[in-house]
Amino acid sequence: MNCFMFPGQPLAHDATLPGNADFSELAALTRAHTGLDLSAFTWGAGTHSEQVALQVYGVAVSLYRHRCLRLEGMKPAVAAEHSMGVYAALAACGSICEGEALELAFRVGACMERRFRGRDYALGCLVGVTAEKLAVLAAEGAVFLANHNTSHHFLLSGGRREMEATLGRALASGAFSAKIFPCDAPLHTPLMAEAEGELAAIFSDYRYREPACPLMNHIDQEFLTSAEIPAFLMRELTETVQWDATYRALKRFGATRFVELGAGDSLKKYNRWIESRL
């Protein structure tokens, strides 16, 4: 049973992009719906952060990978999404169109950029600590668990100063990797509730169709219905991404082949680690 997995925002973009007709069509859709020129990685009108550009780019790459698989005749029996990969997943499942997925990623990213401008947030990637130890570190450092990817791979979200201190304590406590990345907003934390009114208004602008194949959400591992999508899009910005639990639930559902549609292969790596602990 094929499972299509849609990852969240990549950390960087490829300098060389596909030159075929499908990607050119998606690049034109991206310019039309967001203003981002994928080839130059610049904004045609207005100025937005690199994080917003990466969010849009990530969706565009996922949509392109989905087109390629469709041409090969491959279809999913079930789909799963991680973080902001939900927009591409919704398009792949037929709930929204490709242009709407790109537009949603852009509007959400621009909203977060605008709402939290002037504040210094960061993401912290921790590898090699247990979930129990991480909970203590996060509470002590006033940061939040954003992604529970595996039993030993986590992403934290919060203020940069607090994040730097927390990662330092984690390394002193035995973590073997701690990296920090910039971000426009405190993604996947309760702090995002500050922008709830504006974000909810964005999500209400679209009409969502029933997913054509089961689409599992990454919070409580339920399959999304069209009526649940707007509320979930808000929830997923304020709550932890539970990928470890999601992968295990997909296996129980019967998924046997996992195909990652996006930039990079982070979800495949997480899956291999989880498999080694099953």
pLDDT surpasses 90 at 219: yes
Confidence at residue 106, expressed as pLDDT on a 0 to 100 scale: 97
Confidence at residue 165, expressed as pLDDT on a 0 to 100 scale: 94
Mean pLDDT of all residues in the chain?
94
Confidence at residue 278, expressed as pLDDT on a 0 to 100 scale: 73
Chain centroid to CA 141: 24
pLDDT tens by residue, 74-130: 999 999 999 999 999 999 999 999 999 999 999 999 999 999 999 999 999 999 999
Q: Which residue has the tokens 């939040």?
A: 144
* Whole-number Å distance between alpha carbons of 78 and 169: 40
Among 19-28, 200-209, 210-219, whose mean pLDDT is lowest?
19-28
Confidence at residue 92, expressed as pLDDT on a 0 to 100 scale: 97
pLDDT surpasses 80 at 265: yes
Q: Where are the alpha helices (DSSP H) in the chain?
A: 21-34, 50-71, 86-92, 98-115, 131-141, 160-172, 196-203, 229-238, 243-253, 266-276
Same structural domain for residues 36 and 106? yes
Confidence at residue 212, expressed as pLDDT on a 0 to 100 scale: 96
Residue where a domain terminates, one of 141, 156, 183: 183
Structure tokens, 220: 């409580």
Same structural domain for residues 171 and 223? no
pLDDT tens by residue, 158-183: 999 999 999 999 999 889 899 999 99
For residues 221-225, average pLDDT: 97
Which domain CATH number covers 261? 3.40.366.10
Confidence at residue 228, expressed as pLDDT on a 0 to 100 scale: 97
Confidence at residue 200, expressed as pLDDT on a 0 to 100 scale: 97
Confidence at residue 234, expressed as pLDDT on a 0 to 100 scale: 97
Confidence at residue 71, expressed as pLDDT on a 0 to 100 scale: 92
pLDDT tens by residue, 141-160: 899 999 999 999 999 999 99
Q: Which domain holds residue 170?
A: 121-183
Closest Cα partner for 246 from 233, 236, 231, 234? 236
Confidence at residue 13, expressed as pLDDT on a 0 to 100 scale: 86
Same structural domain for residues 178 and 203? no
Share of the chain above pLDDT 70, in %: 100
* Whole-number Å distance between alpha carbons of 222 and 9: 22
Confidence at residue 255, expressed as pLDDT on a 0 to 100 scale: 97
Same structural domain for residues 236 and 218? yes
Same structural domain for residues 204 and 129? no
Structural domains in the chain (count)? 2
Same structural domain for residues 221 and 98? yes
pLDDT surpasses 90 at 16: no
Task: Assign 246 a pLDDT band (cuts: 50, 70, 90).
Answer: very high
